[in-house]
Structure 1
Amino acid sequence: MEKTVSKQKSGHIVWLDIVRLAAMFMVVCCHCTDPFNFYPGTSPEIGEIKFWGAAYGALLRPCVPLFVMITGALLLPVRESSRFFYKKRITRVFFPFLIWSVLYNLFPWVTGLLGVEPRVILDFFPYSGEDVMRQSLEVSLGYIAGIPFNFSILAVHMWYIYLLIGLYLYLPVFSAWVAQASDRAKLWFLALWGVTLLLPYYNEFVSEYLWGSCSWNSFGMLYYFAGFNGYLLLGHVLRQREWSRRMLLLVGVPMFIVGYAVTYLGFRHMTALPDCTDEMLELFFTYCSLNVVLMTVPVFMCCKKIEVHSERLRRMLANLTLCGFGVYMIHYFFTGPSVVLMRMLDVPICIQIPCASVVAFGVSWLLVALAYRVFGRKTRWVLG
């Protein structure tokens, strides 16, 4: 049965550190699947490569929703003034985001200066195309000029930072309702949000338009209940609740299995189609979809059941809280090369992705932790 969790006396919530660890490792692991799902060229093992890319890729979809749920669990309702909240939150992510976006976009040009073969860029960035292979400063500057508008194919993971800044802008507004809404009202909001989780499939398989949306209007009836704000509220609501081990077993496990089956089978079906577009490829991997929510909720609730008694492990988890944003900023430089390393070491394909993830995650965390130890709080301006 569900029950309300008593608030901890300490401001530090260890189980949320565990959720953060799960989310952080999963996102690194997710990016280690890119060299599998977007394998450049041919290989006699291409079938196995694609299978494991899809199998792990589907398994890891809760990564981003977990991050958003952590944000909702920690920040809703917002207790600070809007001005102080924006200054504290947005400035901390904006400058590292800008610095690392520039560095990622300059990378191909720097490899050209160093005499590195263009094909090596594909080991780092599986999405990159012909323009990047030119290793031209002009191309890099073009991508940098586009940063105010969107991420580039060299900094794909930065899509989340645009989203995060948007959520921060929205949080004080949403918080005013959350602070006064009853539990019943919050559940009704989540129910309407649940309906919107089916819209990606309706739009793909039935009709592009629904509930008043049309060629001159993109904002349908449930538009304001859709998107990642549902994960914000879900994190806030589930922070106050707990599932027993019995409920995790009888409800959580089947939820995850059903969500995973739909995600994996749907992805494999779409990628097998000869005319599969980018939108079709990502359809069943969409974070704001019912199948991904079915996977995310049990993971979140399971992390709440993990007890940490070791003081050393608690300090490590707290350190990840400090270093987590920096790890996110830099890890994409290491995911591709880590996969290349696993292939060079002839690691079995079935475990290359998790092994590469351990390397990429470990190296990223170590570098960020060292930066904090050497430069102290000044590190925040570069690594968040």
Structure 2
Amino acid sequence: MPQNLSTNQTSRIVWLDVLRLFAIFMVICIHCSDPFNVSPEARSNPEFNRWGSIYGSFLCPCVPLFVMITGILLLPVKMSFEDFYKKRLLRIAFPFLLWSVLYNLFPWITGVLGLPQTLISDVFAYAPADASQSFADAARNIALIPFQFNVYTVPMWYLYMLLGLYLYMPFFSLWVERATVKQKRIFLGLWCLTLFLPYAYSFFSPNLLGISAWNSFGTLYYFAGFNGYLLLGHYLANDVREWSWTKTLAVTLPMFVAGYIVTYTGFKTITANPDCSEQEMELFFLYCSPNVALMTAALFLVVRKIKIKSDKLISLLANITKCGLGIYMAHYFVVGLGYALADAMAIPVSLRIPVTAVIAFAICWAFVALCYKFSPKYSKWIFG
């Protein structure tokens, strides 16, 4: 391990805990920005469009940072396929199913309690105002959990992707363990080329590099996706020496600014059109895109320079890491409440997204931490 992975007396990689905190808070923030970006009415409001674009563009590295952390901690895999799958898949499979069921039951529960349908869209930004409160529709959504997420389980898309990475990782690990630094760089170079493909498909032609109506797997398909972030995290942590602050800022500031300008300009331009499609709205927010990758790598390189010596702060960060998956699972229930509280406090539009995120984060962290304190055995099954 390079020097930047030095740990405290409990062998924690402290700066990774800091990186997790950034990633967790950014995920909550990005969901708090949904009311600013999802509906045509919000996008047509200049103030909402501006601040939704400003914050949303900054927050895109959240998921790639999580994947990079996974690559650092788990590559190469040091256990058998069976043990790895048992430990990793079971850790998230039960909480994933449990919270997916709870989210899907929420609309029906509001009906049982006699609450208005509009409450559902207040809690879930993507839900229609006339969302169904019937048990039959909730049961149908629950039956489909193994196959897809929906407007009530939006954050769960990440768990589907993470399960896929876990299935793939032991195979990928065999190559990573034997690959030279040069070979890793070649793979990352080819992966970087794939980051430009979404724009090429949108602005040039959807049929490139062999893709056609009868083939979805083009030339660079096998180097594409979140596995690139797995390798990038592993590579930067293990094969790139820690730089001085001067070099770090000299490299990362232009990277982040360039990525942010592309993300912000593209997203704001597209979402200024209230009739833009969902695919168009997400184009410049795609996690596997060059602009988001630049911002992600820049944040990663800066955070790994952070050194923390306070035992209390290290312990606090460790607790957030322990509660992290639980905070992620629960936060989508609380975002609507946080937004309502920020609105009731007359928080300016310019600050409403981060204030809502702070409220949601604090509530979820307190809830998950208390559950772990009073029932650690069962909390592991509930929160992962």
Q: For residue 105 of structure 1, what is the amino acid of its counterpart?
A: N
| Aligned residues: CA RMSD | 1.7
Of 155, 158, 176, the residue aligned with 2:156 is 158
2:88 is the counterpart of 1:85: no
Distance 1:13 1:21 in 2: 13
1:198 equivalent in structure 2: 196
Residue type of the partner of 1:324? G
Residue identity matched to 1:201: Y
Whole-Å separation in 2 of the counterparts to 1:260 and 1:317: 28
Once residues 72 and 53 of structure 1 are traced to their aligned partners in structure 2, the CA distance between those partners, rounded to angstroms, is: 30
Once residues 278 and 248 of structure 1 are traced to their aligned partners in structure 2, the CA distance between those partners, rounded to angstroms, is: 36
Distance 1:369 1:61 in 2: 27
**For the Cα contact (< 8 Å) 2:118–2:129, is it kept in 1?**
no
Seen in structure 2, the aligned counterparts of structure 1 residues 262 and 42 have a Cα distance that, compared at 3 Å, is: closer
- Segments of 5+ residues of structure 1 without an aligned counterpart are none
Q: CA deviation at 1:362?
A: 0.8
Kept in 1: contact 2:120–2:129 (CA 8 A): no
- Whichever residue aligns with residue 155 of structure 2, its letter is H
For residues 318 and 345 of structure 1, what CA distance do their matches in structure 2 show?
A: 32
Q: 1:327-366 alignment to 2 at 5 Å?
A: 327-366=327-366
Q: CA deviation at 1:36?
A: 1.2
What is the CA deviation profile of residues 33-74 of structure 1, one whole-angstrom value per residue up to 9, with x for unaligned ones?
01111247579x932122111110111000000000000010
Alpha-carbon distance in 1 for matches of 2:56, 2:345: 22
**Distance verdict in 2 for CA 1:378–1:340, change over 3 Å:** same
Give the direction of change, closer, same or farther, for the CA distance of 1:161–1:146 in structure 2 (3 Å limit).
same
Q: 1:367 and 1:60 mapped to 2: Cα distance?
A: 24
Letter in 2 for 1:249: L
Alignment TM-score, normalising by the size of structure 1: 0.96
In structure 2, C-alpha distance between the alignment counterparts of 1:173 and 1:5, rounded to whole Å: 28
Alpha-carbon distance in structure 2 between the residues aligned to 1:46 and 1:306? 39
How far apart are the structure 1 equivalents of 2:42 and 2:320?
38
2:346 corresponds to 1:375: no
Q: How many residues align?
A: 380
Residue by residue, what CA displacement relative to the aligned partner does 1:290-349 show, whole Å, maximum 9, x if unpaired? Answer: 000110011111111111111011111111121111011000011122111111110111
- What's the counterpart of residue 95 of structure 2? 96
Per-residue Cα deviation, 1:126-163 (whole angstroms, up to 9, x for no partner): 1012562x311122112111111111110101000000
Structure 2 counterpart of 1:120, one-letter code = L
Say which of 174, 177, 181 aligns to 2:175.
177
Structure 2 CA distance for partners of 1:4 and 1:42, relative to 1, 3 Å: closer
Structure 1 residue aligned with 2:133: 135
Paired-residue identity, %: 51
Unaligned runs of 5+ in 2: none
What is residue 303 of structure 1 aligned with on the other side?
303
Task: Judge conservation of contact 1:72–1:236 (CA < 8 Å) in 2.
Answer: yes
Q: C-alpha separation between the residues in 1 aligned to 2:344 and 2:129?
A: 25
- Structure 2 residue identity aligned to 1:146: L
| CA distance, structure 1, for counterparts of residue 173 and residue 179 of structure 2 | 10
Q: 1:331 aligns to what SS in structure 2? A: helix
Deviation at residue 248 of structure 1 after TM alignment: 2.3
* Native 8 Å contact 1:212 1:219 kept in 2: yes
- AA partner of residue 298 (structure 2): P
Question: SS of the residue aligned with 1:220?
Answer: coil
Name whichever of 137-146 and 103-112 sits farther off: 137-146
* Counterpart residue identity of residue 340, structure 2: V
Kept in 1, the 8 Å contact 2:117–2:130? The answer is no
What amino acid is aligned across from residue 253 of structure 1 in structure 2? L
Letter in 1 for 2:85: Y
CA deviation string 1:225-284 (max 9, x = no partner) = 000000000000111232321122211001101100100110111123354111111000
2:147 matches 1:149: yes
CA contact (8 A) 2:72 2:230 kept: yes
1:1-384 pair list within 5 angstroms: 4-5=2-3, 8=6, 11-39=11-39, 46-129=45-128, 132=131, 134-240=132-238, 241=240, 242-273=242-273, 275-384=275-384
State the distance in 2 between where 1:137 and 1:243 align.
57
Distance in 2 between residues matched to 1:90 and 1:267, nearest whole Å? 35
Do the aligned residues in 1 keep the contact of 2:14 with 2:314 (CA within 8 Å)?
yes
Query: Relative to 1, partners in 2 of residues 1:148 and 1:223: Cα closer, same or farther, differing over 3 Å?
Result: same
1: CA distance between counterparts of 2:129 and 2:47? 27
Q: Structure 1 residues 127 and 335 mapped into 2: Cα distance closer, same or farther (>3 Å)?
A: same
Distance 1:374 1:275 in 2: 50
Deviation for aligned residue 1:377: 2.7
CA distance in 1, matches of 2:340, 2:37: 14
